[in-house]
């Protein structure tokens, strides 16, 4: 009869996930799954050795990524993913250390660590999921919630000015800064690849729908509708000053790669100093 059709029961990314942990905890319509798979595609396309990758997360829906990926993965405390990752990176300099966490985790409770790791230019890849709210605790406002947005703790609308995360990361010293929505799967994947290869502090903001904490209360819509809203309202502006990439409530979402510069990383500067002063066999 006809040729035997091979039925593929395995997804090419299966080898990078802890299948036994699925189904995951994320809501239908959440952007986190796409963000995670973009990262896994990037790892796959770069053909990196999974043994040489570590993923560190803080606490939050975004922070759960560490529990689903089959790398050495650490789900730490709220806000402390970056300093934990800093210790890990300096202990294992050849490993690629990726921080996957949320806007609240990285920019609110962990904000100080974000700017200082960027200043030191520690070789880390930060994937910051910005869903404009604290999803895990039920949709409270956070440091990226746009002015006017409703959350469970801004019933009259948010009156605090939000951070422009890409501007923050760039000013603090990040050598690679980009922003994409989860719908820019190709661009996002390319950016993650570039960031993984970059020796220095890379920051990628990923705008991700959270129908429960943000879409629904702000009448942006459920699941697919919030995705559609983000796609229709995004504009790609590669290379612009991140200062001009501010986000607003229901406004245009400026995405692109904003910073890609060369600057010696923390470990490189450290080694150069020690080499000069102590001679080459200092061993650090």
Partner 1 sequence: MKRPAVLTGEYFILGDYACAEGALAAGCRFFAGYPITPATEIAERMSYRMPEVGGIYIQMEDELASMAAIIGASCGGVKAMTATSGPGFSLMLENIGLAVMMEVPCVVVNVQRGAPSTGLPTLVGQGDVMQARWGSHGDYEIVAYAPSSVQEMFDLTVKAFNTAERYRIPVILLADEAVGHLTEKLVIPPEEELTIINRMPPQDPPGEYLPYRADDSLVPPMANAGEGYFVHMTGLTHDERGYPIITGEAHEKLIRRLIQKIRSHADEIIEYEEVELDDADIVVIAYGITARAALRAVRDARAQGIKAGLLRLITVWPFPEKKIQDLAQRVDTFVVAEINQGQIRREVERFVDRPDRVIGVNKLGGDLITPNEILEVLCQPSPK
Which positions lie near ligand SF4, rule CB under 6 A? 26-27, 30, 32, 61, 131, 135, 210-213
Residue 26 binding target from ligand SF4, Mg ion, ligand TPP, none, CB below 5 to 8 Å by type: ligand SF4
Contacts of 238 (CB under 8 A, 6+ apart): 256, 257, 258
Site string for ligand TPP, 136-175 (x = CB under 6 A): xx----x---------------------------------
CA distance 108 to 128: 12
Residue 136's Cα: distance from chain center in Å? 16
Residue 262 binding target from partner 1, ligand SF4, Mg ion, none, CB below 5 to 8 Å by type: none
Token output for 29: 């319509």
Q: How far is the CB of 204 from partner 1 (least distance, A)?
A: 21
| Residue among 133 and 234 whose Cβ is closer to ligand TPP | 133
Match 């790791």 to its residue by tokens: 117
Token output for 136: 């895990």
Specify which residues 102 forms β-bridges with.
129
Contacts of 30 (CB under 8 A, 6+ apart): 61, 208, 209, 210, 211, 212
Query: Can you tell me which of 37, 131, 164, 265 binds Mg ion, judged by CB under 5 A?
Result: 131
Chain residues binding partner 1 by CB under 8 A are 18, 20-21, 50-52, 54, 56, 66-67, 70-77, 79-80, 82-92, 94-95, 112-113, 116, 270, 274, 278-279, 281-284
The length of the chain is 284
Residue 27 binding target from partner 1, ligand SF4, Mg ion, none, CB below 5 to 8 Å by type: ligand SF4
DSSP 195-219: HHHSSS-EEEEEE---IIIIITTTT
Residues that bind Mg ion (CB under 5 A): 102-104, 131, 135
């Amino acid at each position: 009869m006809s040729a035997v059709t091979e039925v593929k029961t395995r997804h090419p990314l299966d080898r990078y996930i802890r299948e036994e942990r699925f189904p995951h905890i994320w809501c239908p319509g959440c952007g986190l799954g796409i963000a995670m798979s973009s990262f896994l595609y990037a790892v796959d396309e770069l053909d990196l050795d999974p043994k040489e990758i570590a993923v560190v997360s803080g606490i939050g829906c975004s922070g759960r990524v560490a529990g689903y990926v089959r790398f050495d993965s650490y789900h730490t405390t709220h806000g402390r993913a970056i300093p934990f990752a800093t210790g890990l990176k300096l202990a294992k300099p050849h490993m690629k250390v990726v921080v996957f966490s949320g806007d609240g985790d990285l920019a609110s409770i962990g904000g100080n660590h974000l700017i200082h790791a960027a200043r030191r230019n520690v070789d880390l890849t930060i994937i910051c999921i910005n869903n404009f709210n604290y999803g895990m605790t039920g949709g409270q406002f956070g440091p990226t919630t746009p002015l006017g947005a409703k959350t469970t703790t801004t019933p009259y609308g948010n009156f605090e000015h939000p951070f422009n995360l890409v501007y923050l990361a760039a000013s603090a010293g990040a050598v690679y800064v980009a922003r994409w929505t989860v719908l820019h799967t190709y661009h996002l994947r390319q950016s993650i690849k570039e960031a993984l290869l970059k020796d220095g502090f890379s920051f990628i903001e990923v705008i991700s729908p959270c129908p429960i904490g943000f879409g629904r209360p702000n009448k942006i819509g459920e699941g697919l509708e919030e995705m559609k809203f983000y796609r229709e309202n995004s504009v790609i502006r590669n290379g612009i000053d991140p200062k001009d990439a501010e986000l607003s409530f229901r406004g245009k979402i400026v995405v692109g790669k904003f910073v890609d510069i060369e600057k010696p990383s923390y470990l490189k500067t450290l080694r150069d100093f020690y080499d000069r002063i102590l001679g080459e066999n200092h061993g650090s």
